[in-house]
Amino acid sequence: MLGLGELELKVMDVLWAADEQLRVRDVLEQLPAEREFAYTTIMTVLDRLHDKGWVGRARTGRAYGYWPARSREEAGAHVLREVLDSSGDAESVLLHFAASVSERESELLRRALEKGRGA
């Protein structure tokens, strides 16, 4: 996702899959085993994600519990909004995007637009 590094996205994936707040150690244990990460590395990533507004946190004892500030779907929509706002030509971006969608995605967009118009 726009604005997230590879490790940040992996950490977000862990948080999005969780149904409760996770501590640094919990996130570390649930990361894919393709590479070992230091506790302090994940702590720093979570701190940066908090500073960027991607995660919320609350102290639970001596540690923080972390959770996603928005759902994966809300985050995706936010990223799309940022792309459109920063493109300088939202119409062109939307037209290129529309040309790339599948038939199913096109139908979903049609329904969403109709719903948005109160139809």
Residue 19, domain extent: 6-68
70 SS3 class: coil
| Predicted pLDDT at 70 | 94
| Residues 59 and 22 placed together within one structural domain of the fold | yes
The residue among 29, 47, 68 that closes a domain is 68
Residues 50 and 97 in one domain: no
Indicate if 80 and 32 belong to the same structural domain. Answer: no
DSSP-derived 3-state class of residue 51: helix
What is the pLDDT at residue 80?
Answer: 87
1 in any annotated domain = no
C-alpha span between 109 and 95 (Å, rounded): 13
SS3 (DSSP) at 63? strand
Picking from 105, 85, 116, the residue whose alpha carbon sits closest to that of residue 2 is: 85
- What would the pLDDT profile of 63-90 be if each residue is shown by its tens digit? 999 999 999 999 888 888 888 999 999 9
Domain membership flag for residue 107:
yes
For the chain, the domain total comes to: 2
Written as tens digits, the pLDDT of the chain (119 aa) is 667 899 999 999 999 999 999 999 999 999 988 889 999 999 999 999 999 999 999 998 999 999 999 999 998 888 888 889 999 999 998 899 889 999 999 999 899 888 877 65
